[in-house]
């Protein structure tokens, strides 16, 4: 398998990470060597194996649906790079 520049561009778009030509080429090389290494898994037949999604063999605990954190609006907004009163501010979305 080979990851070409077109694929890198596609993944970079999905990841919301802008990548210039030079970085894209470096990434293609890195990802190809990593995927060569990952291909080893194809040696194994796994048709009848159940996928393991969690090692914690436990069921989720139920609790009553109560508000525990009150009046934390200020705390939530505190670290935002740009805010206006009670809102996060982002670049204009609708023209």
Residues found near other proteins in the complex (CB under 8 A)? 3, 7-8, 11-12, 14-19, 27, 30-31, 33-34, 37-44, 46, 49-56, 58, 60-61, 63, 72, 75-76, 78-82, 88, 90-93
Query: Cα 49 vs. chain centroid, distance in angstroms?
Result: 26
What is the C-alpha separation between 1 and 20, in angstroms, rounded? Answer: 23
Which residues lie closer than 8 Å to 28 by C-beta, 6 or more apart?
Answer: 3, 4, 5, 7, 8
CB of 25 or CB of 33, closer to other proteins: 33
Q: Residue 68 Cβ, how far from other proteins at the closest point, in Å?
A: 9
């Amino acid at each position: 398998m080979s990851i070409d520049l077109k694929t890198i561009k596609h993944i970079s778009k999905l990841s919301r990470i802008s990548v210039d030509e030079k970085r894209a080429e470096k990434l293609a090389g890195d990802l190809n060597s990593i995927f060569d290494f990952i291909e080893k898994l194809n040696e194994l037949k796994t048709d009848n194996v159940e996928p393991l999604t969690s090692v914690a063999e436990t069921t989720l605990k139920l609790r009553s649906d109560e508000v525990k954190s009150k009046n934390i609006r200020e705390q939530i907004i505190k670290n935002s790079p740009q805010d206006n009163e009670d809102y996060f501010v982002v670049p204009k979305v609708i023209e």
